[in-house]
Structure 1
């Protein structure tokens, strides 16, 4: 029996795709591979169907082959562009959307996607022009208006974004996305009551999703309504038990509240057929040093489960976690062997396996191999600060003192000075601290340190601290920005240096938070992968900093299983002191022993490209 002709089969596949029967599309085309060359719509259908069932690697290959065969097929270019945009590759997506528009000028969907990609690539002016044009052409299209409001918000035009969202709500008062996004803006501005009302209205619209539960719960927690926040989290986890981000945030909250079983909701929802939840469960257990629990599930996932034994996405996530388990037991050679095995299988995505091998070589005190591996990692992802941290550690271990000093010259690259003595307003450090200290203390309501952070025996604030409208928080923010500007302008650029090669007069906060340490509290030695310049401002310090180095900030002491090195540099804290340093430098603290607190504000800065 001969296969149906493309003229018959392609319409059937289109109908199946429209019904959401993506598995049928995939299986049919896998059994008729020659059909992919018949028309550009076929690789479009196959690639998009593979995306829908979570097979992104296969989808990428289908799109790449399809675009070579049909380079100007507009719908194929558009679908491939959507895939790349979802994978945070907006520049490539822009090129594909422009191809589509050359074939079909003024096509509204292509223009909408191009506008989204331009916004994602931070080409805001072009995006805004296109969005405004689309709003005129399609005033009824809510997706266009929502995307435009998001663009305005990203440019910090909060007034414009809020106005755009309220325009949607004027004609669609129960639109859940508009309500959610309005809530996000209100929350960012510190209007938690209004934000909670917006989130509740969205949940009452009849179209719920996990994001709404997450946002409302977090907003209630920020209002210190912990029981209500927990209740909303629990409702969300019950309605959307497989949503990884909701389960993660709920588990983190339960942990900070010292709940007896913070990961119970994940454990009750997960099976080997829900690998994303299993991986989350393992990751959380690793972060709280429950290594045997993580090992049990990782071995089941990797070695005893036929459903995941050949899935690349599982391997890329699970193998590095399993390597961490092995390293925690000093099984460094076994960790290297399993990473080598999967590195050979996935040569196009080497980083997860290279990084873990590098850690194992450091644990074995093999500085030569570790330096070689982390040099490769720095070439692949030069803006990941953690790779430079590990490279500097390997250089020090390997006796490569010049290279180590080039990266970690603490005398010239660390600044520690009193933030300001006096200014025209009459505010000085003591005055600022007098107002700031009680306000920050009131924000510290967690009963336990957060998961996955360096902090031990203390608490950390939620959200981005410098988004808080409190006048003294904002005064501190402005003073820090001025000091950071002076710090950067006093440095000379150097092309191959991870910090000095990115010097810029334009920069922004990547994150900001407050930390409160209490008796036996300390920071494990760590670095900030997503930062560039990090800093800490001391609001309150215990008297014991005057003796024995208690509570001091230490630099250069790695926290790596199997490797012990002493610190290279230390800073004695004092109220009003601001310390600045490149984010890749190892830093931690000595514990404090008294009942007096150590209260700080910390932050990361990144240059604006």
Structure 2
């Protein structure tokens, strides 16, 4: 490469670092014909194309650079990050695995491999990659922060606290590490230390975490004021507005839930991401009219896109305009055939309107497009039941796949009853709101905030470990079955990915629902009123009766009578709800979703 070309490459690199991709691309165009084919030139051109949003061109240039210099781990590392931003996580992981194979001492590639594996839920795969990064750069702030994040994901709050404290000490300006440290401290119950770790919170993310901590501590007035302060100072910060929208109904203020979003959307700085968050909040609030208004406004502002049409369809469903919605989804699916959400909407709407063949075809399409998402399978369980298709029994054998077991007695307790007494006291202290979350399925009760098992509380840690052991022992009675959406993923080991507690008052119940992002779901009975489980089905867990808004009068396929200390597990696509009960005493449960490891 000539000296002139080398100078142009250096100039282009400087422009890219200064955030000027267009100028960098212009500089690269002045290279000689031979210089433009040099791998460094192709790589910088890929970065410029990415910066300009020319995704297709950027990908071709990344690949060309890698083809000419397959041993360059830096190219592969950047290509992986590019793929990750496009949502192509599996390809990104493969690119990073190739990078570390080409250059085993490339610490950044090891670190990014760990981060991507963790993002995809592969905690066991993330650990050795992070170990290699730590061995190469043991005190690098990003490595320390990633070590803390991985410990946090595994529920090891003390290890997270230690690593994140070191990360913040090494780089006080790392807001992500500071945020994670505050969360780790909050999980340990040290709210004062968590708030201190946030400092002055001169950043919307940190200020939102401050509000979260106040809410978790039960300081609701202070939390609401803190969320509103974030919304006033940083009106486009969707996270604070979302938290406020979901908190206010639990405090008895549902009419104010969407006010923050209304104010923010009226401003000129509202981004597509803010509009999407607003639509999600309106959907969670069950406000179909607002969904229609906001979806139309977003489309006028940003142009036609699947997310706006999906929001409109949800609004029509909430307003019970089913025939209109079915006509529209047929048109939209032809316009956006690669959008799985439209296939799920069409399946639901066709089922609601009695078009079983159309519903089945749409649900099967969705199940092929997103086989791990549970909505299509849940609809197929109903469609095949109505069609008396034997595939219903293949999909959801209620006698075999709905499983119950008594909790393994945790280490350190003399009996299950003794443990349940301690667990009840811990859980009741975590119910700090007055009403049910509007976006959840319970009616007449409360739900704990955040992840129940993101804690250092010894009772909850023992509970988590006992649940995992109980689940794995129960699943040992099932055999893997290729092609089955539940049994086909059976490995014998699980990890808990969501956890919460529900306290239902008299007349309380759960509407029938599924868990779209799960694989295995559950209900564990901590404490029951005397009226529940003493004969009859009051408070019972029912399976096979779908969402009432589908307008189908179907009896349960199975009923599980609650018993304190007993765990029920089932596929996340199984429709389940509870029967209301009459009592002066509450019904206390815990639940989680799990994925195979």
Question: Shorter-chain TM-score category?
Answer: 0.7 to 0.9
Contact 2:8–2:27 (CA under 8 A) maintained in structure 1: no
Q: Deviations for 1:114-161, whole angstroms, at most 9, x for unmatched residues? A: 55446655433541343134316xx5x433432344345445665554
Q: Residue in 1 aligned with 2:365?
A: 376
Shift of 1:216: 1.8
Shift of 1:571: 1.9
Q: Deviations for 1:169-219, whole angstroms, at most 9, x for unmatched residues? A: 4455575443322222223333333223212x2x35xxx332212222212
Shift of 1:252: 1.2
1:335 aligns with 2:330: no
Shift of 1:445: 2.2
Segments of structure 2 that go 5 or more residues without pairing to the other structure are none
Q: Residue in 2 aligned with 1:535?
A: 522
Q: Residue in 2 aligned with 1:135?
A: 137
Q: Residue in 1 aligned with 2:475?
A: 488
Q: Give matches, 1:442-461, under 5 Å.
A: 442-461=429-448
Q: Give matches, 1:34-45, under 5 Å.
A: 39-41=41-43, 43-45=45-47
Q: Deviations for 1:537-560, whole angstroms, at most 9, x for unmatched residues? A: 222333444576332211111116
Q: Residue in 2 aligned with 1:279?
A: 276
Q: Residue in 1 aligned with 2:401?
A: 413
Q: Deviations for 1:39-85, whole angstroms, at most 9, x for unmatched residues? A: 414642343214xxxx5xx52x2333324544436565443321223
Distance in 1, matches of 2:420 and 2:107, equals 54
Shift of 1:562: 3.9
1:511 aligns with 2:498: yes
Change (3 A) 1:27 1:327: farther
Partner of 1:520, secondary structure, is strand
Distance in 1, matches of 2:171 and 2:357, equals 63
Contact 1:362–1:563 (CA under 8 A) maintained in structure 2: no
Shift of 1:112: 4.9
Distance in 1, matches of 2:538 and 2:565, equals 18
The one of 551, 563, 571 equivalent to 2:560 is 571
Distance in 1, matches of 2:7 and 2:409, equals 80
Q: Residue in 2 aligned with 1:317?
A: 307
Q: Deviations for 1:357-410, whole angstroms, at most 9, x for unmatched residues? A: 11111111222222222222222222222221112112112221x211122222
Distance in 2, matches of 1:175 and 1:63, equals 29
The one of 259, 265, 268 equivalent to 1:270 is 265
Partner of 1:519, secondary structure, is strand
Contact 1:282–1:294 (CA under 8 A) maintained in structure 2: yes
Change (3 A) 1:35 1:251: farther
Over the residues paired in the alignment, what is the CA RMSD in angstroms?
A: 3.6
Q: Residue in 2 aligned with 1:604?
A: 593
Q: Give matches, 1:116-265, under 5 Å.
A: 116-117=115-116, 120=119, 122=123, 123-124=125-126, 126-135=128-137, 141-154=140-153, 159-172=158-171, 176-199=175-198, 201=199, 203=200, 208-259=202-253, 260-265=255-260
Change (3 A) 1:92 1:48: same
Q: Residue in 2 aligned with 1:62?
A: 57
| TM-score between the two structures when normalised by the length of structure 2 | 0.85
Distance in 1, matches of 2:407 and 2:109, equals 51
Q: Residue in 2 aligned with 1:588?
A: 577
Contact 2:11–2:27 (CA under 8 A) maintained in structure 1: no
Shift of 1:6: 10
Distance in 2, matches of 1:373 and 1:290, equals 26
Q: Residue in 2 aligned with 1:441?
A: 428
Q: Residue in 2 aligned with 1:499?
A: 486
User: Which piece of structure 1 moves more, 101-110 or 511-520?
Assistant: 101-110
Shift of 1:246: 2.4
Change (3 A) 1:113 1:590: closer
Contact 1:541–1:574 (CA under 8 A) maintained in structure 2: yes
Change (3 A) 1:423 1:189: closer
| TM-score between the two structures when normalised by the length of structure 1 | 0.83
Distance in 1, matches of 2:22 and 2:249, equals 39
Provide the aligned length of Structure 1 versus Structure 2: 576
1:350 aligns with 2:339: yes
Segments of structure 1 that go 5 or more residues without pairing to the other structure are none
The one of 286, 291, 300 equivalent to 2:288 is 291
Q: Residue in 1 aligned with 2:509?
A: 522
Distance in 1, matches of 2:106 and 2:535, equals 71
Shift of 1:322: 0.9
Distance in 1, matches of 2:388 and 2:27, equals 59
